[in-house]
């Protein structure tokens, strides 16, 4: 469906920034949001950008291709599509377990966090939930990463089961010039919730630095 792609996400962000005439902006993007920040800079440059933060972000490319042999096979994303189409309520409820690392031995599970995650998922329209899967999995952001020329912080958990670190942060942090990579040992994809105090402190230090 038209509009559910990284170009549109980035262009929407650009329209907002320009409408508000924002300058020296610090963009912080998590997961697909990190892809949006990356594509925004790739399309708009860094004239209005002061710094960027990518947290558990999807760049450079999640899908396995000949040029990206370490990525995830298309079958993984086809299964996600099937789950969303068949019963997205059940899908979001079950996804909350690996998203926050709650499926790991000894994990302290918060049913409140799981319910909040489910609610956020259900608030999204079905077309957006379905078509964003192609957007976050098949968009190659390699060239966009090369255009980032502002201080950039890359945060990622090494137990991220949604966006595996080996084919995301470990690669993107090498492509972005002088990027600062901070790896959170044992952290899940949803570390902005499970480790919010540490993430907030990291962000504040980077912003003020």
- Of the residues 5, 27, 30, 31, only one is catalytic, namely 31
Contact 60, 172 (CB under 8 A): yes
158 is catalytic: no
24 is catalytic: no
Q: Of 50, 29, 26, whose CA–CA distance to 38 is shortest?
A: 29
Q: Per the structure block, which two tokens stand in for 33?
A: 């949001």
Q: How far apart are CA 193 and CA 184, in angstroms?
A: 13
CA distances 34 to 9, 79, 115, 172, Å, are 11, 23, 24, 11
CA distances 105 to 33, 97, 163, 172, Å, are 29, 12, 20, 30
Q: Of 76, 82, 118, whose CA–CA distance to 97 is shortest?
A: 118
Q: Per the structure block, which two tokens stand in for 205?
A: 């230090």
Backbone torsions φ then ψ of 193, nearest 5 degrees: -100, -50
- Of the residues 96, 129, 156, 160, only one is catalytic, namely 160
189 is catalytic: yes
Backbone torsions φ then ψ of 42, nearest 5 degrees: -60, -35
- Of the residues 27, 30, 156, 189, only one is catalytic, namely 189
Q: How far apart are CA 143 and CA 61, in angstroms?
A: 11
Which amino acids are annotated catalytic?
A: 31, 160, 189
């Amino acid at each position: 469906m038209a509009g559910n792609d990284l170009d549109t996400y980035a262009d929407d962000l650009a329209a907002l920034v320009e409408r508000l005439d924002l300058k020296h902006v610090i963009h912080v993007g998590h997961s697909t949001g990190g892809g949006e920040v990356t594509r925004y800079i790739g399309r708009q440059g860094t004239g209005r950008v002061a710094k960027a933060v990518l947290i558990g972000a999807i760049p450079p490319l999640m899908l396995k291709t000949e040029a990206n042999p370490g990525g995830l096979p298309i079958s993984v994303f086809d299964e996600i599509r099937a789950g969303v189409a068949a019963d997205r309520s059940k899908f979001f409820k079950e996804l909350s377990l690996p998203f926050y690392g709650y499926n790991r031995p000894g994990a302290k599970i918060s049913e409140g966090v799981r319910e909040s995650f489910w609610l956020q998922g259900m608030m999204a329209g079905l077309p957006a939930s379905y078509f964003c899967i192609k957007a976050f999995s098949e968009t190659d952001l390699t060239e966009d990463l090369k255009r980032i020329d502002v201080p950039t912080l890359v945060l990622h958990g090494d137990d991220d089961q949604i966006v595996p670190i080996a084919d995301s942060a470990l690669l993107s942090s090498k492509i972005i010039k002088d990027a600062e990579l901070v790896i959170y040992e044992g952290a899940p994809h949803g570390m902005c919730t499970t480790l919010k105090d540490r993430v907030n402190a990291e962000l504040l230090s980077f912003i003020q630095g």
